[in-house]
Amino acid sequence: MLSPVCLALAPVPLALFFFYPFLKRFTALSHLGLGLAWGTAPLGGWLAVTGRLGPLAEMVPALLLAGFCVFWVAGFDVIYALLDRDFDRANGLHSLPAAIGESAALRVSQLLHFAGFLFLGTLVQTTFNGPAAFSLFAAAGLLILIGHARVQFGPLDPSAVDFAFFKVNAAVAFLVLILTAV
């Protein structure tokens, strides 16, 4: 049975997901709002399994995974928003591609993914230390690099974004699942 704290905190991710679309009306940093919403998942999982938030030292793995999720999701949301750049500009919506252009938005996406992989690398080093964990971490990083290369160096069309956003992220998610489940 889930802890009553889970029920009490359930509105937090719900509110974050609810308000994310509205963030696009106010800030080009809306991508971080989506990342933050997804970043609550590892913390919710931690709470569901342990029944408590804390002590902080015990929560480090969940916090590192949450940090990875925040930046990973924000990074791929920027890539996905590349296709909406003209629509966003025409309709007064805010996104990084609409605000700073395609090339700069891709650089920000790379920085967000790099920050996420710092969290994931720290998680691997501190919690899952071993050759299998390192191999999964390296494979996930390589996939992200391949996705970025496809979007950045090829023509920007829906198939490039589909590859980077859906296919690469599905594979990365699967690798991170294996990494954390084994």
Query: What is the DSSP code (8-state) at residue 51?
Result: S
pLDDT recorded at residue 154: 73
Question: How far apart, in Å, are the Cα atoms of 37 and each of 31, 43, 131?
Answer: 10, 11, 31
| Number of structural domains the chain divides into | 1
Query: What is the DSSP code (8-state) at residue 128?
Result: S
* Residue whose C-alpha is closest to residue 95's, from 116, 73, 79, 112: 79
Report the pLDDT averaged over residues 45-57.
86
Tell me the pLDDT band of 168, cut-offs 50, 70 and 90. very high
pLDDT recorded at residue 113: 97
Q: How large a percentage of the chain has pLDDT more than 70?
A: 100
Residue 173 predicted with pLDDT over 90: yes
What is the CATH classification number for the domain harbouring 82? 1.20.120.1780
Of 3 and 64, the one with more pLDDT: 64
pLDDT, tens only, 83-104: 999 999 999 999 999 999 999 9
Query: What is the DSSP code (8-state) at residue 154?
Result: S
Range of the domain at 40: 4-181
pLDDT recorded at residue 33: 94
pLDDT, tens only, 7-38: 888 899 999 999 988 999 999 999 999 999 99
Residue 153 predicted with pLDDT over 90: no
pLDDT recorded at residue 117: 96
Mean pLDDT for the chain? 92
Tell me the pLDDT band of 155, cut-offs 50, 70 and 90. confident
